[in-house]
Structure 1
Amino acid sequence: MKKVLMVCLGNICRSPLAEAILQSKVNSKEIVVDSAGTADYHTGKQPDIRSIEIAAKFGLDIHKQKARTFEVRNFDTFDHIYVMDKSNYQNVLELARDKNDVLKVKMILNELHPNKNLEVPDPYYGGDQGFKNVYNMLDEACDVIAKQLQ
């Protein structure tokens, strides 16, 4: 079974969406998808209501997800770790123990735009359109990831 982890800052906006989007595109008997944040601001809390609402508009239910913090042991659990931005990338790499850990970590939009290191913007302080834009970016990236995992 392959295991994929989506990572953003607080695990309440981008990574919960990425988790649900990828889950909807893969066979759950073959691929496990989870999410985490690099900061512990929201540990144990539901995703941002705006993420819940945009997910629901596309037929995904994320209201039962609970924010958690990325931990070193995630390198042992997950085969692929996708981060949303450069800050998340650096925060995750700071916990890497060796080259194998480092090789698991990728910027998610590099799946659409290889080696460009484009970031999924944090929609937290923006309006509803920001959440829709983020959803669309993640949906496209997850299409590519799902095909690679098959």
Structure 2
Amino acid sequence: MRVALVCLGNICRSPTADVVLNAKLADAGLDDVVAESCGTGTWHLGEEMDARSAAVLTAAGYDPSRHRARHFDASWFDHDLILTMDRHNHSEVLAQLPTDRQDRVLMFRTFDPEVGAGAAVPDVPDPWYGGPQGFDTVLEIVERTCDGIVAHLTGPDGPDARRT
């Protein structure tokens, strides 16, 4: 299974989610699930993660060093699950995807346990223009949401259930 995590520039939110989700997948023994990140914009292609995001991840015990910014394009259409960080990214991804593949696109925080059932799914706030606290907030959101994703993948309705 392949999971795409999509934000705008692919240097803050989606790479943070990529690093955290891959760590949590490994901890859960989900070796057959791969998470990757990309952005809908092209201005940071090939760049490392934003230094502020990388510092927050490193302080929390994660390794952000492998990240290089990539662009969402047709090569991402075959991912099994595409999780977008905000409504703008969501609409941009849906506009590019063939209609028969749009059901695999969800807002990232669909799996956030703090979002109530039936509530509108909120964006992951973009920390780019704010202070350092914004990067801490993004990590908090990402960690608990990644826990929700792992629970979904290992639960009765996850991909392993379809194999039986």
Do they fold alike, i.e. is TM over 0.5?
yes
Structure 1 Cα separation of the partners of residues 19 and 66 of structure 2: 11
Is 1:142 the equivalent of 2:143?
A: no
Secondary structure in 1 aligned to 2:77? helix
Gaps of 5+ in 1: none
Alignment of 1:1-150 (within 5 A): 2-26=1-25, 27=29, 29-76=31-78, 78-99=79-100, 101-112=101-112, 113=115, 114=117, 115-150=119-154
Cα deviations across residues 92-124 of structure 1 (Å, max 9, x unaligned)? 00101123x211111011212245120011000
The farther-off stretch of 59-68 and 10-19 is: 59-68
Where has structure 1 moved over 4 Å in runs of 4 or more? none
Structure 1 Cα separation of the partners of residues 121 and 152 of structure 2: 19
Structure 2 Cα separation of the partners of residues 97 and 30 of structure 1: 25
Question: What is the Cα deviation at residue 28 of structure 1?
Answer: 5.4
TM-score, normalising length: structure 1: 0.94
Structure 2 Cα separation of the partners of residues 124 and 146 of structure 1: 27
Percent sequence identity over aligned pairs: 37
Question: What is the Cα deviation at residue 29 of structure 1?
Answer: 2.1
Gaps of 5+ in 2: 155-164
Structure possessing the higher radius of gyration over alpha carbons: 2
**8 Å CA contact 1:14, 1:122 repeated in 2:** yes
Question: What is the Cα deviation at residue 129 of structure 1?
Answer: 0.4
Question: What is the Cα deviation at residue 73 of structure 1?
Answer: 2.4
Secondary structure in 2 aligned to 1:52? helix
Structure 1 Cα separation of the partners of residues 41 and 56 of structure 2: 23
TM-score, normalising length: structure 2: 0.86
Query: What is the RMSD of the two structures over their aligned residues, measured on CA atoms?
Result: 1.1
Cα deviations across residues 27-80 of structure 1 (Å, max 9, x unaligned)? 35211110000000100000000010000011111122100000122111x111
Question: What is the Cα deviation at residue 144 of structure 1?
Answer: 0.5
Structure 2 Cα separation of the partners of residues 28 and 47 of structure 1: 25
Structure 2 Cα separation of the partners of residues 94 and 75 of structure 1: 12
Question: What is the Cα deviation at residue 148 of structure 1?
Answer: 1.1
**8 Å CA contact 1:86, 1:117 repeated in 2:** no
